[in-house]
Amino acid sequence: MKIVKSKVYVSENRLVNRLEALYENVPSGTCAGCTRCCSESVNMSYVEFLNIHEHYIGDGSIMDHPDFVNRLIRYYLLELVQPMKCPFLNADNLCDIYMYRPLPCRIFGNTTKAAYESNYKEIKIQNVKVAYQLLQESNLKMPKNVVQKEIGFCEDYIVDERLDRNEVQSMYDALVNMDGELAFKGFLKPTEFNQNLVGWFIEALLDEIDPKVLLRTMLSDLRLEALKAANLG
Window of 3-11, 53-61, 86-94, 198-206 that interacts with ligand SF4 by CB under 6 A: 86-94
Q: What is the DSSP letter of 186?
A: T
The helices-and-strands tally (H runs, E runs) of the chain is 10, 2
Residue number, 10 or 105, with CB nearest to ligand SF4: 105
Residue number, 6 or 41, with CB nearest to ligand SF4: 41
Residue number, 4 or 32, with CB nearest to ligand SF4: 32
Query: In the set 4, 8, 21, 34, which binds ligand SF4 (CB under 6 A)?
Result: 34
CB of 31 to ligand SF4, least distance (A): 3
Residue number, 76 or 88, with CB nearest to ligand SF4: 88
Per CB under 6 A, contacts with ligand SF4 among 88-107 are: 88-89, 95, 97, 101, 105
Whole-Å CA distances, 204 to 83, 123, 127, 197: 23, 24, 24, 11
CB of 4 to ligand SF4, least distance (A): 23
Whole-Å CA distances, 125 to 66, 118, 122, 145, 173: 33, 11, 5, 15, 21
CB of 121 to ligand SF4, least distance (A): 18
Q: In sequence order, which residues have a C-beta less than 8 Å from that of residue 73 and are 6 or more positions away?
A: 214, 217, 218, 221
Contacts 24+ apart (CB under 8 A), 11-16: 11/54, 13/181, 15/47, 15/178, 15/181, 15/182, 16/51, 16/54
CB of 139 to ligand SF4, least distance (A): 32
Q: Which of 114, 115, 93, 94 is nearest to 104 (CA)?
A: 115
Per CB under 6 A, contacts with ligand SF4 among 179-218 are: none
| Contacts to ligand SF4 by CB under 6 A | 31-38, 42, 86, 88-89, 95, 97, 101, 105, 108-109, 154, 156-157
